Structure 1
Amino acid sequence: MINKEILLGGNAMSNEITKLRNRSEVPEELKWDLTKVYQNENEFTEDINKIQEEIKIVGKLKGTLFDSSTALKKILKTYFAVERMTVKAYVYASMLSDQDTNNKKNQGLFSQVQQLYAKVAAAFAWFEPELLTLGQTKLDEYYSEDSELVGYKKYIDEIMAKKDHLLSEKEEKLLAGASDIFATPENIFGILNNADLKFPTVTDEKGNQVELSHGLYGKLLESGNREVRKNAFQGLYKTYKQFENTFATSLAAHVHTHNFQATTRNYPDAISAALGANDIPVSVYDTLVERVNKHLDLLHRYVKIRKKLLQLNSVHMYDLYTPITKLPEEEYTYQNSKKIALESLSVFGADYIQIVEEAFKSRWIDVVENTGKRSGAYSSGMFDTPPYILLNWQDNLESLFTLVHEMGHSMHSYLSNHNQPYHYSDYSIFVAEIASTTNENILTQYLLDHSDDLQFKAYVLNHYLDGFKGTVYRQTQFAEFERWLHDQDKKGLPLTSQELNNKYADLNKHYYGPAITNDPEIALEWSRIPHFYYNFYVYQYATGFAAASALASKIIKEGPDSYLRFLKSGSSALPIDVVKEAGVDMTKPDYLDDAFVVFEQRLNELENILEKLKR
Structure 2
Amino acid sequence: MSEKTRDQIEKQYKWVLEDIYPSDGAWEEDYAALEELMKGIPDIKKTLAKDAKSLAKALKAMEKMEHIAGNLFVYARMRRDENNSNTTYQAMTARAMDINVRLGSALSFVNPTLLALKPGVLEGYIESAKDHCKHGRDPKTCKKGGHCKKCDNNVKGNDKLADYDFMLRELIRSREHVLSGKEEKLLSMSADIAGAPKDIFTMIDNADLKFGSVKDANGKRVALSHGKYIVMMQSPDREVRKNTYKIYYKSYQGMINTISAAYSASVKKDVFYARARKYGSALEKSLFSDNVPVSLYDNLIETIHKNLPTMYRYVDVRKKALKLDELYMYDIYTPLAEETHGEYSYEQSMEMVKQGLAVLGDDYASLLQEAQDTGWIDVYETPGKTSGAYSWGVYGVHPYVLLNHRGDLDSVFTIAHELGHAMHTYHSNKYQSEAKAGYEIFVAEVASTVNEILLTHHLLDTVTDKKARKYVLNHYLDQFRTTVVRQTMFAEFEKMTHSAVEQGQALTHEVLCQMYGDLNALYYGPQMQRDDIISYEWSRIPHFYNAFYVYKYATGFSCAVQIASDILSGKKNAVRDYIRFLSSGGSDHPLELLKIAHVDLASGGPVDVCMSEFDKALTEFEQTI
TM above 0.5, yes or no, is: yes
Aligned to 2:50: 67
Aligned to 2:314: 302
Alignment of 1:37-48 (within 5 A): none
Alignment of 1:576-595 (within 5 A): 576-595=591-610
Q: What is the one-letter code of the residue matched to 1:75?
A: A
SS in 2 for 1:379: strand
Q: What is the one-letter code of the residue matched to 1:299?
A: M
CA separation of 1:136 and 1:373: change in aligned 2, threshold 3 A: closer
Q: CA deviation at 1:313?
A: 2.5
| 1:76 aligned residue (45, 49, 59) | 59
CA separation of 1:413 and 1:130: change in aligned 2, threshold 3 A: same
Aligned to 1:150: 162
CA separation of 1:110 and 1:25: change in aligned 2, threshold 3 A: same
Range with bigger deviation, 225-234 or 562-571: 225-234
Whole-Å separation in 2 of the counterparts to 1:90 and 1:175: 28
Whole-Å separation in 1 of the counterparts to 2:393 and 2:105: 23
Q: CA deviation at 1:470?
A: 0.9
Alignment of 1:431-510 (within 5 A): 431-491=443-503, 493-495=505-507, 499-510=511-522
Alignment of 1:130-529 (within 5 A): 130-132=113-115, 133=117, 134-137=121-124, 139-141=126-128, 146-169=158-181, 171-172=183-184, 186=198, 214-215=226-227, 217-234=229-246, 236-237=248-249, 248=260, 251-331=263-343, 336-360=348-372, 362=375, 364-365=377-378, 368=381, 377-383=389-395, 387-389=399-401, 396-491=408-503, 493-495=505-507, 499-518=511-530, 520-529=532-541
Residue 215 of structure 1 contacts residue 369 of structure 1 at CA under 8 Å; is this kept in 2?
no
Q: What is the one-letter code of the residue matched to 2:587?
A: S
Deviations 1:268-300 (A, max 9, x none): 222222221111122111100111012112111
Structure 1 or 2, whichever has the larger Rg, is 2
Deviations 1:462-512 (A, max 9, x none): 222221111110110111122234334445555565654443333222211
CA separation of 1:33 and 1:244: change in aligned 2, threshold 3 A: farther
Deviations 1:553-601 (A, max 9, x none): 2112336221111111101232212111211111102222222222222
Aligned to 1:600: 615
Range with bigger deviation, 23-32 or 324-333: 23-32
Aligned pair count reads 591
CA separation of 1:261 and 1:119: change in aligned 2, threshold 3 A: farther
Q: What is the one-letter code of the residue matched to 2:124?
A: T
Q: What is the one-letter code of the residue matched to 2:127?
A: D
Q: CA deviation at 1:519?
A: 5.0
Whole-Å separation in 2 of the counterparts to 1:203 and 1:38: 50
CA separation of 1:102 and 1:546: change in aligned 2, threshold 3 A: same
SS in 1 for 2:391: strand
| 1:125 aligned residue (99, 108, 112) | 108
Q: CA deviation at 1:195?
A: 7.4
CA separation of 1:348 and 1:101: change in aligned 2, threshold 3 A: same
Whole-Å separation in 2 of the counterparts to 1:105 and 1:521: 47
SS in 1 for 2:296: helix
Aligned to 1:11: none
| 2:558 aligned residue (540, 546, 569) | 546
Whole-Å separation in 2 of the counterparts to 1:52 and 1:499: 53
Whole-Å separation in 2 of the counterparts to 1:461 and 1:165: 47
Whole-Å separation in 1 of the counterparts to 2:203 and 2:92: 15
Alignment of 1:11-90 (within 5 A): 54-90=37-73
Whole-Å separation in 2 of the counterparts to 1:159 and 1:316: 50
SS in 2 for 1:544: helix
Aligned to 1:15: none
- TM-align CA RMSD: 4.0
Residue 395 of structure 2 contacts residue 434 of structure 2 at CA under 8 Å; is this kept in 1?
yes
Whole-Å separation in 1 of the counterparts to 2:263 and 2:383: 27
Q: What is the one-letter code of the residue matched to 1:586?
A: L
Q: CA deviation at 1:418?
A: 2.1
Residue 212 of structure 2 contacts residue 223 of structure 2 at CA under 8 Å; is this kept in 1?
yes
Whole-Å separation in 1 of the counterparts to 2:206 and 2:475: 27
Q: CA deviation at 1:72?
A: 0.8
Whole-Å separation in 2 of the counterparts to 1:41 and 1:212: 41
SS in 1 for 2:479: helix
Whole-Å separation in 1 of the counterparts to 2:127 and 2:479: 49
Structure 2 length as normaliser, TM-score?
A: 0.80
CA separation of 1:532 and 1:350: change in aligned 2, threshold 3 A: farther
Residue 569 of structure 1 contacts residue 578 of structure 1 at CA under 8 Å; is this kept in 2?
yes
SS in 1 for 2:601: coil
Whole-Å separation in 2 of the counterparts to 1:431 and 1:386: 20
Whole-Å separation in 2 of the counterparts to 1:283 and 1:44: 47
Deviations 1:298-349 (A, max 9, x none): 1112111211221113212232232324543434676653332232122223
CA separation of 1:378 and 1:527: change in aligned 2, threshold 3 A: farther
Residue 126 of structure 2 contacts residue 165 of structure 2 at CA under 8 Å; is this kept in 1?
no
Residue 52 of structure 2 contacts residue 125 of structure 2 at CA under 8 Å; is this kept in 1?
no
SS in 2 for 1:517: coil
Whole-Å separation in 1 of the counterparts to 2:84 and 2:206: 7
Whole-Å separation in 2 of the counterparts to 1:49 and 1:248: 48
Whole-Å separation in 2 of the counterparts to 1:65 and 1:355: 40
Whole-Å separation in 2 of the counterparts to 1:111 and 1:188: 24
| Runs of 5+ unmatched residues, structure 2 | 133-156
Aligned to 2:139: none
Structure 1 length as normaliser, TM-score?
A: 0.82
CA separation of 1:365 and 1:321: change in aligned 2, threshold 3 A: farther
Deviations 1:355-375 (A, max 9, x none): 33454552634755978956x
Q: What percent identity do the matched residue pairs reach?
A: 39
Q: What is the one-letter code of the residue matched to 2:613?
A: V
Range with bigger deviation, 543-552 or 506-515: 506-515
Range with bigger deviation, 163-172 or 312-321: 163-172
Whole-Å separation in 2 of the counterparts to 1:371 and 1:239: 31
